[in-house]
Structure 1
Amino acid sequence: MHMLTKKTSTEIPLEAVVVRADEGSPVSLGSEGGGSALVKVSPVSHQFSHFAVVGIDLPKGAYLRPHAYELNERMVLCFGGRGHVIVDGQKHPVSKGTFMFWGRGVGVEVVQDGDEPLRLSVISFPPAPDSRFDLFPLGGGTPADGGASVGVRAGNNLVERDNGHFIIVQDDEGEEYWQAAPSLGYVSIMIAAPVLPVTYFCAASQLLEPGANVRHHGHVASEEIVIVTHGKGIVVLGDEQFPIAEGDVIVLPPTLMHHFINNGTEPLKYGGVFLPPSVEGALRETGVRKLPGEPRPASIPRNPTTEKLLVDKYGFIIPGISDQRTVGV
C-alpha cells in the first residue's frame, strides 16, 4: 500500500492512496463455498469517512447469499472472472469491466461461474458494515448473523427490493467518446445522470492503447476512485510513479495532478468514480462520440475553446490553461 500526501497552496493536506489487489484488511464475507474480502479503504484505516472500498474474491462454486443494505448505496466493478447476480428474480451476467449500482434496500445474490475466481471491487456510500473490520473481523460475526443492528438484511427468504435502484452496464455498453492524443483510446460514461438516481457521483471507464497516456491533469472539486480492470501500467501522482495492475485501487483527492501511462503490450483499462460528478458533462459537451463499428478518426485536435470550457465549467486543472495557483503539487 502506498500513501502520498501533498499540500495545496492553502496548506490543506491531500491523501492519495494506491492499494494493490492483494492488499487490505481481511473481513468476514458470509459467502458459501469459500471466498475472501479485503478492506482497501475505510474510515478505520484512512481519513476518508464518506466511502469505503472492499475487494471480494469468490472461487469456483462460491456465492454470496441474498443480502441488502438499508443504509448504503454501492458501486461495484468486476475486474476478474465471471459470474452473475440475481435481483428481483432476474439473472444478470457479470464479467471483467461490468459496472453495477446497488441502491439502498436492493436485495442481491452474487454467484461465481466458470473456472476463474469472480473478483469484484465494492465502493459503498457511506461505508457499509462489511468494510468495518472492527465490526466484522475475520472469524467473527457476519452480516447474516450480526448485521441487523447496522442495517444489513440477509437470508434466502429476503424480500429483494424496497425502494432502491439496480443498474448494470456491461463493459461494451457505455456511452463512448474518442480521446485526443496522447490518450489514443476512448472514455465510456458507464453510470451517470439521467439514468443514475443519485447526483453525488458518476462512473466512467477509460481505455488506453499500448504506449498511450493521459495527459497530466487534476480536478478542482472532484475526488476520484480508480479501479484497474484490464492490463498493467503506471499512475503518476504529482511527481511520483507507481506501477498498477488489475484489481488495484487508486484514490485521488481533489486538485492532485495525476496521469496514467500504458507501458505494456495490452490495452490498459480502468474505471473511475467521481465525487461529485464532472466528467460526464464534459464529455457530452466537448467530446467526439465513438459509434459502434466506426474507426478512430485520423486526428482529434484539441480545441482551445473547449479546453477553456473544461477548465472554467467542469473544474479540470490543465497545465498552461488553468490558474496554476490551484494546482496541488
Structure 2
Amino acid sequence: MADDITKGQSVIIGPDEGRSLWQPMPSRGYVDVNLTPDNMPYDTFSSGIQLLPPGCMVREHGHKQNHELVFVYEGTGEVNIDGKVSKFVPGTTILFARNCTHWIKNTGDIDMKMFWVFFPPGLEDWFYAIGKDRKPGDAMPEPFDRPDNVQEVMDKMRFLPPRNSG
C-alpha cells in the first residue's frame, strides 16, 4: 500500500540562496525571498525572512486577497492590527488575516528578524517592486524612499490603504 502514495517534491533553500533586497524607508533593513512559485513546484504560498533595524517599521497596510503569517525569532516590538496595539517578544507568531490593516515596529535595540509566509503567494512581487538588490555581506545603503509608482504597485497587488488615509 505504501508504494501507492504519491510523494510531493521537497525543496531546500540554504542561507543566502534566495533573492535578497534592501527595503526603503521606513522599513530599511532587508528581505530574503526564499520560496516562491518560481523556484518550487507549489503555487499556494511564498516565504522568506525580513530584518528590521531598531526604530524601523513596516508601514500600515492590509491585503484584500492574502493572509500573512509572521514568526518573530529575534527582537521585540509592537504590532497594530485594525487599531489594536500589542507588544511582542521573540517566539511570537502573528497571523494577519486578509482585509485587516496592520503595521509592525521594532521597538527594541537590536535587529528584529521575522520569518514570513504569504498565502496565496505575491508578497515577493511587492519586495521586488520596491527593493534594491542586495548581496549578503554588503553594508546597508543610505536610506532610500519607495519608488514613485508605489501606489500603482499597491493597487495592482490589491493592498488595503492605511485606515487613516481617508
TM-score, structure 2 as length reference: 0.86
Partner amino acid, structure 2, of 1:239 = G
Deviation at 1:173, TM superposition (A): 3.5
Partner of 2:70: 226
Partner of 1:315: 158
Q: Is residue 234–residue 261 contact of structure 1 (8 Å, CA) maintained in 2?
A: yes
- Between 1:218-227 and 1:277-286, the stretch displaced more is 277-286
Deviation at 1:191, TM superposition (A): 0.9
Q: Of Structure 1 and Structure 2, which has the larger fraction of its residues in strand? A: 1
Residue aligned with 2:11, SS: strand
Tell me, in whole angstroms, the C-alpha distance in 1 between the residues paired with 2:105 and 2:45. Answer: 25
Partner of 2:137: 293
Tell me, in whole angstroms, the C-alpha distance in 1 between the residues paired with 2:107 and 2:98. Answer: 26
Partner amino acid, structure 2, of 1:200 = T
Identical-residue share of aligned pairs (%): 31
Partner of 1:264: 108
RMSD (Å), alpha carbons: 2.4
Partner of 2:56: 212
Which deviations, in whole Å up to 9, do the C-alpha atoms of 1:57-115 show, x marking residues without a partner?
A: xxxxxxxxxxxxxxxxxxxxxxxxxxxxxxxxxxxxxxxxxxxxxxxxxxxxxxxxxxx
TM-score, structure 1 as length reference: 0.46
Q: 5+ unaligned residues in a row in structure 2: which ranges?
A: none
Partner amino acid, structure 1, of 2:25 = A
Tell me, in whole angstroms, the C-alpha distance in 2 between the residues paired with 1:318 and 1:174. Answer: 29
Counting only pairs closer than 5 Å after superposition, residues 29-48 of structure 1 correspond to structure 2 as none
Check 1:286–1:302 CA distance in 2 against 1; reply closer, same or farther (3 A cut). Answer: closer
Which structure exhibits the higher relative contact order, with contacts defined as CA atoms closer than 8 Å and separated by 6 or more residues?
2
Residue aligned with 1:285, SS: helix
Q: 5+ unaligned residues in a row in structure 1: which ranges?
A: 1-152, 154-158, 325-329
Residue aligned with 2:58, SS: coil
After superposing on structure 2, the runs of 4+ consecutive aligned residues of structure 1 that deviate more than 4 Å are: none
Whether 1:250 and 2:94 are equivalent positions in the alignment is yes
Deviation at 1:197, TM superposition (A): 0.9
Tell me, in whole angstroms, the C-alpha distance in 2 between the residues paired with 1:209 and 1:299. Answer: 12
How many aligned positions are there?
Answer: 164
| Equivalent of residue 21 in structure 2, options 174, 177, 189 | 177
Q: Is residue 28–residue 143 contact of structure 2 (8 Å, CA) maintained in 1?
A: no
Tell me, in whole angstroms, the C-alpha distance in 1 between the residues paired with 2:70 and 2:117. Answer: 7
Counting only pairs closer than 5 Å after superposition, residues 1-329 of structure 1 correspond to structure 2 as 162-305=6-149, 307-319=150-162
Tell me, in whole angstroms, the C-alpha distance in 1 between the residues paired with 2:28 and 2:159. Answer: 20
Check 1:202–1:191 CA distance in 2 against 1; reply closer, same or farther (3 A cut). Answer: same
Deviation at 1:171, TM superposition (A): 4.6
Tell me, in whole angstroms, the C-alpha distance in 2 between the residues paired with 1:272 and 1:226. Answer: 4
